[in-house]
Chain A
Amino acid sequence: MTGPAVETAPPQAPASTEPPVHKASRRKRLIPYWLLLPGILWLLVFFVLPMVYQASTSVQTGSLEEGFQVTWHFQTYWDAFTEYYPQFLRSLLYAGTATVLCLLLGYPLAYLIAFKAGRWRNLLLVLVIAPFFTSFLIRTLAWKTILADGGPVVAVLNDIGFLDVTSWLGMTEGDRVLATPLAVVCGLTYNFLPFMILPLYSSLERIDTRLHEAAGDLYARPSTVFRKVTFPLSMPGVVSGTLLTFIPASGDYVNAELLGSTDTRMIGNVIQSQYLRILDYPTAAALSFILMAIVLIMVTIYIRRAGTEDLV
């Protein structure tokens, strides 16, 4: 008890003038740990420990009736990957497409709110945030109505030849949209747009508009101002927006289930049915670890490339 306290006391401080200091500072040094303790404990028990359990589940063999045993059966990983790599590829493809679409659709809106909205800014922001508070499942089901076969939206898309293009790309079949990859990507894009717009907006909002004026004074055309000034300065928002879109989209199974068909199953659908219907826990655990590894590796490479560190 006394040992460390003596060590931390300033060597030449006279005991008479500063007696309580080392005691108080010692107690003070413990404050952050007390503040952290409950929350970190919660994360360790309900976030880290479950990962350990899942890791052990993934190397078990057995059946539900006879029970599962840890047999260090790493083969499960290879079997699961070779059996389900189409679903992995499809997930990355759909999530990637949705992320790009979110960026293309979200950037103009974030730009509009940040620089051009004036007194409408608050209302527009509310309309972007409000979906967070209303059930996304109900809204996803609404897409079934919007994209219904023979409905007005599909008719218009057919008339302008849009469906010919997407058919050629393999994203739709005939004059249907529901139960095709296009419907799933449309749902994913829709569901994750707010996660793209909000980070974009907050990094655009921080840009000093005098930089735009300065660029204009130096005879930069508006497109040049955007390319050389606005976009580079919004990179932190682009990076965190694309991550916040891509990561959850890659594991999603709601859109593929509600708007897709058996041909659009993503890896999330497989993990969900392995865990909750087929009850093949080792395969399910291995699949979700493979997904986690793929996502973490891609994210790490992406962050290195994009070169931003302050994400949160």
Chain B
Amino acid sequence: MRWLRRNLVVIAGLGTLAYMILPNVVVTVFSFNNPTGRFNYAWQEFSLDAWKDPCGVADMCGSLSLSLQIALWATIGATALGTAIAFALVRYRFRARGAVNSLIFLPMAMPEIVMAASLLALFLNMGIQLGFWTILIAHVMFCLSFVVAAVKARVLSMDPRLEEAARDLYAGPVQTFVRVTLPIAAPGIAAGALLSFALSFDDFIITNFNSGNTVTFPMFVWGSAQRGTPVQINVIGTAMFVIAVLVVLAGQMVGNRRKKAQPK
């Protein structure tokens, strides 16, 4: 009883973790299912069919590659624009700084569906064809704020004396930026980029409103919830989870090694 009380936090925490991981376990287990009928919600028998032929479902892998492309371009766009804004906000004092800060904050403080609907209102009113470009525009828009937040946090904790030292050693502005500022800000930029990629790749609500007939991977999954879910969706879900864990673990290991390598 005393043991239980002492470890209450650990037990509760691990309970929450189990709640968070449970769906991933179910997705993985059901990727080895051989369902009867259109839906993969009840366990029938073990089968490797879906793993042997992950692209065996019409249009699924096409939607997957489309989502990857959009996520890649949206990440590049949002990271470039957001990093520039973050540097301007942290490094310079200028008029309208408060206004810029709130403009950055607003997209994060608004239900996604409001932004999704308003973008649709814009595109409808201007008669713009919905598809790849409208999705990309929307994704860059909502990823931007998250990049700014991530980079800002990193640049704020940076010691400005390092750059002064570089200038004292006769480094030009460009050289200082490339050799000193950028490497120090890199983890923040990387975090912002990674977050953008994940947000864009997984976005459903904004894409649902602004994709027209274009089908991204989340749109495909959404449609399959009505039409019938192929087992291959679970294969992709499992693969994504494994890749994500490996990528994030690798990122943390690189970060730790850097930290250790730094002289005290």
Contact = CB atoms under 8 A, between A and B. Distances in A.
B204 A137 contact: yes
B82 interface: yes
Interface residues of A, number: 85
Contacts of B217: 135
A145 interface: yes
A113 B249 CA distance: 16
Contacts of A46: 119, 122, 137-138, 140-141
A38 B141 CA distance: 12
Nearest to A28: B92
Nearest to B122: A50
Contacts of A225: none
B201 to A, nearest CB: 8
Contact of A122 (B26, B195, B222, B252): B252
A50 B205 contact: no
Contacts of B84: 35-36, 38-39
Could you say which interface size class chain B belongs to? Answer: 35 or more
Contacts of A253: 113, 205
B221 interface: yes
Nearest to A267: B113
The majority secondary structure among interface residues of chain A is helix
Contacts of B92: 31-32, 35
Interface string B134-165: 00011011001000110010000000000000
Contacts of B13: 108-109, 111-113, 116
Q: Which of A125, A132, A276, A284 lies at the interface centre, i.e. has the most chain B CB atoms within 10 A of its CB?
A: A132
Nearest to B87: A35
A133 B243 CA distance: 9
Interface stretch (B50-58, B104-112, B180-188): B104-112
Contacts of B100: 36, 40
A130 interface: yes
Contacts of B195: 132
Nearest to A122: B252
A291 interface: yes
A47 B104 CA distance: 10
B166 interface: no
Interface string A33-49: 10110111011101111
A81 interface: no
A193 interface: yes
A33 B201 CA distance: 31
Interface in A158-197: 190, 193-194
B149 to A, nearest CB: 5
Nearest to B140: A42
Contact of A138 (B104, B109, B234, B247): B234
B261 interface: no
Contact of A275 (B81, B117, B138): B117
B88 A35 contact: yes
Interface string A100-140: 00000110110111001000001111111111111111111
B22 interface: yes
A233 interface: no
B45 to A, nearest CB: 16
B114 interface: yes
A193 B26 contact: no
B121 interface: yes
A86 B195 CA distance: 35
A258 interface: yes
A254 B204 contact: yes
Q: Which of the listed residues A43, A125, A275 has the most CB atoms from chain B within 10 Å of its own CB?
A: A43
Nearest to B256: A122
A55 B26 CA distance: 44
A108 B237 CA distance: 28
A294 to B, nearest CB: 10
Nearest to A132: B198
20 contacts: A32-B88, A36-B84, A39-B144, A43-B104, A44-B103, A46-B137, A126-B245, A130-B241, A131-B24, A135-B217, A135-B221, A137-B218, A141-B225, A142-B22, A144-B41, A145-B42, A272-B208, A272-B209, A299-B109, A312-B105
Interface of B: 8-10, 12-17, 19-24, 26-27, 30, 41-42, 80-82, 84-85, 87-88, 91-92, 94, 100, 103-115, 117-122, 124-125, 137-138, 140-141, 144, 148-149, 152, 195, 198-199, 201-202, 204-205, 208-209, 217-218, 221-222, 225, 229, 233-234, 236-237, 240-241, 243-245, 247-249, 252, 256
